Structure 1
């Protein structure tokens, strides 16, 4: 904790004015403290990444792949420690923390595979219509990139950015969330163990001041940010000031559409997973339930009973289905939305209150017949709060689902697979699940449209986000 920042291959003490208190959300008590980096240390980290760029981007792709496999193996070797830290700092149930760790390992392994194939994709000829010229394509590292990651999925969102950026030949400055500043330090430890060249990966922690200094830094060639729309807007302004590319993965107010031919038990499983995984603290949370008239009267009471039966508690001390919210600020924000629900006299079938116990716990909550002009229907809550409405026809369901300023994900539940595919095609989102929980695979893309962000992560699209395209054309005459 005395040297929590990794700059130019060295662990250094924070020189900033802010102190970061790291909390156990189950107890609402801090268990660690560290000093934030200063803006001068952000400068040092960017300078180190700039100095390392020339050597790293010309390193053979197969060698970069070797380092990426080393990250995957080292994360797997730290499995128990990192899972326990996720449970303690985020309040995640063990099964969720295990999924996160496996996701991070899979991400580094996948991009190691892609890195190994980069050499074959270089200097590919382009067929030209005009005679007398030849042209070929090069894919090159975009340069020094800043990575700003959130607190709801630490380790995972950072892996989604670090792995493809390193595979592409970029050098990095990572800024973890001030709520969860510890788990990403494992990446610095692993970099040291592997002998990753100094400056290729740098980690600076802090609050908004550090994030602002990084996003506005003139030494970056690209910025990738995952977080709230409010902060994402400021990050976008910073990118505009320097006319540089950025990737934004922001909020969501996603829909799950349940048709009346769906098995009720399966539908309830998918609905609860979509709103209560990570205590609803997901940009992809399917927080708007659209249920067809023919099944609504049977499904909604059973859904309410299932939500009330969820075991909510401390994952380090008991078997739980859902843990607490990860921070007091988020707990208070969700409490404000529950108060709005009371003011709007919404019909609450389950939950509707903060739990009166030590820690930042919220009861899984279900509101039904929520008006489309309700703040709870339209705004991202980032907690286990589900708003339901009924629909009559397929067209009505699509219209309701698309009537949002967000466009991240959606889920469709129906026994009619042709209809499900038809609806999926009509939804204005980046990812659709059919008859499934939100299974995220590294081979698929992640990201959305509208207010949910710019660009894509994961899959080959995640690698392309850190590459620039160069064409070399010459006259043959």
Structure 2
């Protein structure tokens, strides 16, 4: 589809929004559960589409779909609890009122999906938007339109007569840009930081709010007391699954000097048998292979050396075996920018502290991982990242109750979990007067009859509150 189609789809979604938002949470939950059941029944077809469009192996596509179904199921079950009205204390000035915070759906949400996880990523976002009571216009990536259509077709089969609730917009960047200007009530974008900036600029024209899940450049830190074998196994998976085309995948490895030799040996053992096309798939787009090659050539040209692989790892178009570089300066693109391919840069550091400092030194702040026998959630407080795994990698992405998203150049806002439902609603403040006193608390302060005692009581209360010494 092209730009002229977009207003028609948004209008259709706007028309359906009234009926969809009027459903009870239980009724929406039933419809979303039926959608999940239909997706599970259609597993073979959807997995085939994912594999054909992305190049990933069947096992990876199966895993993607199952994790997406977990997110869909969790969101459908918990939306009512998350969106439940909340009573708040009115305070002395409005003591005769009942004060309530109510969550309301936004209306129509535009969702722009990525090509690396064309089922998992959209399912998490679509579930939050739909469960909160919104209708959706979903633009899948132009590289994976067939997978996007499969998700929408399954929704229609599971919920006949639901036209307009989930509209699919296959198309290129022109269609996505028009969606940002088409009068939706929010845009949820997943993709590169560069495209995220363009989305934000387009949405700014109409003050359309956005949630941006942009690129990452995640670090894995191996501390002095780490389980070296477990860390090496996790590094291999985190850096090279799906050919490294994971926004929260491992791109940088900082290993403490005390365990560096043991870790490097273990990592080489893990990666020696790994081959593109057998253990992971091809790079999805030619442009992505060009970025990988550019980062490798630049790093080697400035003193970097290969720990794993070499220029011969580029075996065929899109087929690139694992690459691990060391001796790369921190200011080179392979370290500062997101490669999004089967490349990891390893650096030996003094200790965990230096690893944390270097991990925090890049503009992106999506995820991070730490391996240490003594570390716990306390180390996460030191890391500039929206998500942290301790003694694991990418584990936060598989837990449906946890929010997913980053800070800095990795975007803002959250999907998944409770925050991922609230992201697609607005807070409405409501007061209900229970006692019919003369005037409100605020106006009584201005009344000569009420002013002196009420004003004195309020001032006395605030004067008695002393801060810390």
TM norm. shorter chain > 0.5 = yes
Equivalent of residue 246 in structure 2, options 282, 302, 307: 282
In the alignment, which residue of structure 2 is the partner of 1:362? 320
What SS does structure 2 have at the residue aligned with 1:184? helix
Distance change in 2, residues 1:354/1:173 (3 Å)? farther
In the alignment, which residue of structure 2 is the partner of 1:70? 34
Does 1:466 pair with 2:424?
A: yes
Equivalent of residue 387 in structure 2, options 404, 419, 431: 431
Equivalent of residue 348 in structure 1, options 303, 306, 313: 306
In the alignment, which residue of structure 2 is the partner of 1:133? 97
Q: RMSD between aligned alpha carbons?
A: 1.6
In the alignment, which residue of structure 2 is the partner of 1:442? 400
In the alignment, which residue of structure 1 is the partner of 2:178? 213
In the alignment, which residue of structure 2 is the partner of 1:84? 48
CA distance in 1, matches of 2:357, 2:235: 20
CA distance in 1, matches of 2:393, 2:355: 19
Contact 2:105 2:424 in 1 (8 A): yes
- Alignment deviations for residues 346-374 of structure 1 (CA, whole Å, 9 cap, x no partner): 11111233645554111211111321112
Contact 1:353 1:362 in 2 (8 A): no
Does 1:203 pair with 2:159?
A: no
CA distance in 2, matches of 1:83, 1:55: 32
CA distance in 2, matches of 1:199, 1:365: 46
In the alignment, which residue of structure 2 is the partner of 1:155? 119
How far off its partner does 1:239 sit?
A: 2.0
- Alignment deviations for residues 433-454 of structure 1 (CA, whole Å, 9 cap, x no partner): 1111322211111001111111
Contact 2:50 2:56 in 1 (8 A): yes
Distance change in 2, residues 1:102/1:298 (3 Å)? same
444-453 or 394-403, which moves further after superposition? 394-403
Contact 2:68 2:120 in 1 (8 A): yes
Contact 1:232 1:248 in 2 (8 A): yes
Contact 1:273 1:438 in 2 (8 A): no
CA distance in 2, matches of 1:322, 1:179: 18
How far off its partner does 1:196 sit?
A: 4.9
CA distance in 2, matches of 1:118, 1:426: 29
Distance change in 2, residues 1:196/1:344 (3 Å)? farther
Contact 1:304 1:366 in 2 (8 A): no
Does 1:411 pair with 2:375?
A: no
Distance change in 2, residues 1:263/1:115 (3 Å)? closer
CA distance in 1, matches of 2:300, 2:356: 28
CA distance in 2, matches of 1:148, 1:53: 19
Distance change in 2, residues 1:191/1:380 (3 Å)? same
Give unpaired runs (5+ residues) of structure 1.
1-36, 314-319
Contact 1:175 1:204 in 2 (8 A): yes
Equivalent of residue 103 in structure 1, options 67, 77, 84: 67
In the alignment, which residue of structure 2 is the partner of 1:247? 211
What SS does structure 1 have at the residue aligned with 2:319? coil
Greater per-residue helix proportion:
2
CA distance in 2, matches of 1:66, 1:157: 22
Equivalent of residue 306 in structure 1, options 254, 270, 282: 270
In the alignment, which residue of structure 2 is the partner of 1:17? none
How far off its partner does 1:382 sit?
A: 0.4
Does 1:41 pair with 2:41?
A: no
Contact 2:13 2:165 in 1 (8 A): yes
How far off its partner does 1:84 sit?
A: 2.2
CA distance in 1, matches of 2:235, 2:351: 20
Does 1:454 pair with 2:412?
A: yes
Does 1:231 pair with 2:189?
A: no
In the alignment, which residue of structure 2 is the partner of 1:7? none
What SS does structure 1 have at the residue aligned with 2:403? coil
TM-score (norm 1): 0.87
Question: Which entry has the higher C-alpha Rg, 1 or 2?
Answer: 2
Distance change in 2, residues 1:177/1:354 (3 Å)? farther
Counterparts of residues 11-22 of structure 1 (less than 5 Å): none
Contact 1:290 1:388 in 2 (8 A): yes
What SS does structure 1 have at the residue aligned with 2:340? coil
CA distance in 1, matches of 2:107, 2:51: 35
44-53 or 437-446, which moves further after superposition? 437-446
Distance change in 2, residues 1:246/1:298 (3 Å)? same
How far off its partner does 1:126 sit?
A: 2.2
